[in-house]
Amino acid sequence: MKKGRQGEGGGRPSVVFTEKQVIELEALSSVLTKGQIADYFCISETTLRKIEARQPEVSDAYKKGAVKQIADMGNNLVKLAKEGNVAANIFYLKTKGGWQELQQEVQEIPPINIVVDSRATNATAE
């Protein structure tokens, strides 16, 4: 039973990540969303965000793990592009080089009305 006034000892205790959990979170952040990571640790995403606010090392670990994976994927993309992979070259140039495919302006063609003279369809060869 709760003792005292509201805010004085009531509710669940705050979740605090251990050093081991912080290391796990860093590894997971390379492939999972925050919501999925929260599910992994059996907490809500809101709770995970509160933990990040209280424990800056948790937030830093999430960012570090995600950035490492992005860097690895980027390096792989550059490697493929250098090996002649056309799709990798195009993707790289669009995302990093600012290239874009310009859309041709669509021009509407006005409707054409064709009127056939009934004498032309019933003409006989003479």
For 94-103, what is each residue's pLDDT tens digit?
A: 999 999 888 8
- Given CA atoms 60, 62, 66, 69 in this order, what sign does their dihedral have? positive
Whether 88 is in a domain gets the answer yes
Residue with the larger pLDDT of the pair 123 and 68: 68
pLDDT band at 11 (very low <50, low <70, confident <90, very high): confident
In sequence order, what are the residues at sequence separation of 6 or more whose Cβ sits closer than 8 angstroms to the Cβ of residue 63? 29
Q: What is the pLDDT of residues 18-57, one digit of tens each?
A: 999 999 999 999 999 999 999 999 999 999 999 999 999 9
pTM greater than the 0.85 cutoff: no
Whether 7 is in a domain gets the answer no
**pLDDT value for 81:** 95
Query: Could you count the other beta carbons within 10 Å of the beta carbon of residue 25?
Result: 25
Whether 56 is in a domain gets the answer yes
Full residue range of the structural domain in which residue 28 is found: 19-97
Domain count, the chain: 1
pLDDT for 8 beyond 70? no
Whether 92 is in a domain gets the answer yes
For residue 14, which of 60, 47, 36, 62 has the smallest C-alpha distance? 47
For residue 38, which of 30, 27, 49 has the smallest C-alpha distance? 49
Whether 4 is in a domain gets the answer no
Whether 78 is in a domain gets the answer yes
- Three-state secondary structure string covering 44-99: CHHHHHHHHHHCHHHHHHHHHHHHHHHHHHHHHHHHHHHCCCHHHHHHHHHHCCCC
Whether 11 is in a domain gets the answer no
Q: Please give the Cα distance from 64 to 14 (Å, whole number).
A: 24
Q: Please give the Cα distance from 100 to 104 (Å, whole number).
A: 12
Average pLDDT across the chain, whole number: 89
Whether 74 is in a domain gets the answer yes
